[in-house]
A and B are shown apart, each in its own frame.
Chain A
Amino acid sequence: MNPSKETVVVVPCSGIGKPFGTVSREAAYDLCEELRPESTRLVALAKLVLGEAGARDLVARHPAVTIDGCKQMCAAKMVRQSGGTVAREVAVLDVYRRHKDLKPEGIAELNEAGRKLARVLAEEVAESLDGVGQPVEGVVHA
């Protein structure tokens, strides 16, 4: 677990057009609802687009894990534009390249492989978060 109990904000991309966007969202739910509920806080990316004060404050005060579904890396870019620090920048495609047997399909509802890919991703991030309480030197890519 995160030894300092510092809250980490988790920002998935809001991808609506591709299964990888859905994987990013599912992984964020896995992480925030099941794997690290005490030390994580989900933030909707749309709020950062809007510049909503509460969301900006959260990303300014806590390190962020961003999970992006495509090369545009909207979540990572928006956290930085909002004044936040990206402690873990995750690209679903990178995780998929290491788990080619888990090909995600379906946008509204992921197939079984997609759900497994999301879980694998979430577990990897959860393990890496155990070090987030330590000072973060630069951006760490998962």
Chain B
Amino acid sequence: MPELLERKVGIVSCSGEELAEGTVARLAALKVLNDLRPRDTVTICLPLFLAGGAGDRAFARLHPTITVDGCELRCAAHGTEKYSSKPAASLVVNELVAECGLERPEGRRRLNAAGQKAVEVTAERLAVLVDRALGKDAGTPAAGDAAVHKPDAEQREVACSCGSGVPVTKVSIDGQTVELVALPLIFRQFREAGHGHDEEAARELFETVKIYNAVPPEAEGSYREAVLREYAVFCEKEKQA
């Protein structure tokens, strides 16, 4: 898959307001995003896959994504796979708590000591999964030492991807307005790679667009035509720029 954006791992947490384990999931995700791997991670609110736009739903297609859930319902994992793309890895807090022999967390609003410990353990496991997703060796100081990643004050803000800037282009296909994500990013990369305008290049371009956008099989011809039309417009603008 081509890298359209700076390679970062997406972390999607269940909101889990009803359970202490949900609070553990959320706080562990924040710890990784804020403290342990701030430069390597980005997040999005789970419900945006449904309530947001096409750019939000493309999240897990643009980032290798790790989900962290509080309970066996696995709302974050299932929701991410259903509405965006299959997560690269998934964690479930109550399973991790059992695996590590920890006491069960309590206090969905204010975690008890066992809950705080569970946050630490879950965050550490998440950080290892982040390193693995990025192909880093979790045993090396560069990847494993939190001090190396310690952000300065200005960086201590979660990299939230809602309204994330993934470009969405409205395209007319068979008389319908359809939203396609990431077209300018794909086009720019494709053009800079020196691809021509022959049939093979057109096939490759459309296959790349299909990685990030759901294309109904029965409408592939129309989508392909629209993508190539948009690409021609893009190239013309680039020439004039």
Contacts and interface: CB of A to CB of B under 8 A. Distances in A.
B215 interface: no
A25 B45 contact: no
A120 interface: no
B34 interface: yes
Given A13-B47, A72-B52, A81-B50, A108 B78 contact: no
A111 B30 CA distance: 16
Given A46-B79, A50-B75, A74 B51 contact: yes
A121 interface: no
A12 B17 contact: yes
B17 A49 contact: no
B134 to A, nearest CB: 21
Contacts of B43: 16-17
A39 interface: no
A50 B26 CA distance: 17
A93 interface: no
Choose among A16, A29, A46, A77 the residue with the greatest number of B CB atoms under 10 Å from its CB. Answer: A46
Interface residues of B, number: 38
Interface in A1-42: 12-18, 21, 25-26, 28-29, 33, 42
Contacts, number: 111
Interface in B161-175: 161-163
A50 B51 CA distance: 13
Interface string A81-94: 10000000000000
Contacts of A61: none
A17 B47 CA distance: 13
A75 B15 CA distance: 12
A29 B109 contact: yes
Interface in A71-114: 72-75, 77-78, 81, 107-108
Contacts of B76: 46
Given A50-B79, A74-B48, A17 B14 contact: no
A53 B214 CA distance: 27
Interface string B107-131: 0110000000000000000000000
B36 interface: no
Nearest to A46: B75
A16 B50 contact: no
A66 B128 CA distance: 36
Contact of A74 (B13, B30, B47): B47
Given A42-B18, A74-B47, A77-B51, A16 B109 contact: no
Contact of A46 (B15, B52, B109): B15
Choose among B30, B44, B47, B52 the residue with the greatest number of A CB atoms under 10 Å from its CB. Answer: B47
B67 to A, nearest CB: 11
Interface of B: 13-19, 22, 26-27, 29-31, 34, 43-52, 73, 75-76, 78-79, 83, 108-109, 158-163
Give the 9 A-B residue pairs with the shortest CB-CB distance, closest first: A17-B160, A14-B15, A46-B75, A74-B47, A74-B51, A77-B51, A50-B75, A49-B79, A46-B14
16 contacts: A13-B45, A14-B47, A16-B160, A17-B44, A42-B17, A44-B22, A46-B15, A46-B47, A47-B18, A49-B49, A50-B73, A50-B75, A52-B75, A81-B50, A81-B51, A108-B31
Given A44-B14, A72-B162, A77-B51, 7 more contacts: A16-B29, A44-B19, A46-B79, A47-B18, A70-B162, A74-B50, A77-B50
